[in-house]
Amino acid sequence: MRKDLAPGEQVIVTTRPQPRKLVGAALAFVAAPAAAAFTSAWIIRGEAARLVPAVSTAWSPWLVTGCVLAAAWIWLAYCLPRLLRWQGTRYTLTSHRIVARYGMLRRRDQQVNLAAVRGVTVHQSVLQRILRSGNISLETGYQAVVTLQDVPEAVRFRGFVLDAIDELPEHAEPGTDDMSDYTDEAFPWELREGGRDER
């Protein structure tokens, strides 16, 4: 059972990494069956036997099966893991902390208390600037830096973080600088999709 939010704590925003890393998987998802179908038709027409005389028409069913299995392998070994990795990663900002959640079957949850954050930096490549995403580094003191990779609307997300830090009560304790891990059963709050909560 998931724990509730701490008293007075609110979810500000929940997001996933920029989906640009799924472009290759999406292209492979479409191209693999298309290539398998084209190659299978080429084999069935007897082109393989003309190209390699040692290959008889009796081999055609086996070669076609090989094409189908190759396409299925690309789907399962290349496309699916990347989709699950993206689907299983979430960044949640609350009024007290930031939580990064990774994985679906094997889950890892990490948190940084906002009271421990000493600096927030956005790093963007040229492509990330075009897509308005970026890597957000959270400096928590003692040379400790936590980085959230490929956060969409990175500049806006940083603004949310800075606003949440400004709104922390003055008596808030700095907390620890280390990341804390939670199991799936001990995730500290319900994740909610969408933008910033109305106050």
pLDDT in tens, 52-82: 766 667 778 888 899 999 999 999 999 999 9
The answer, as to whether pTM is greater than 0.75, is: no
Neighbours of 35 (CB within 10 A): 15
Q: Determine what percent of the chain is predicted with pLDDT higher than 90.
A: 50
Residue 61 tokens read as 């069913």
Region 11-17+89-186: CATH code: 2.30.29
Question: So where are the chain's domains?
Answer: 11-17+89-186, 22-85
| Cβ–Cβ under 8 Å, residues 138 and 101 | no
pLDDT of residue 24: 93
What H or E segment, with its residue span, contains residue 156? helix 154-166
Distance in angstroms (rounded) separating the CA atoms of residues 188 and 58: 61
pLDDT tens figures, 38-51:
988 888 887 766 76
CA 77/CA 61 separation, integer angstroms: 24
C-alpha–C-alpha distance, residues 39 and 110, integer Å: 47
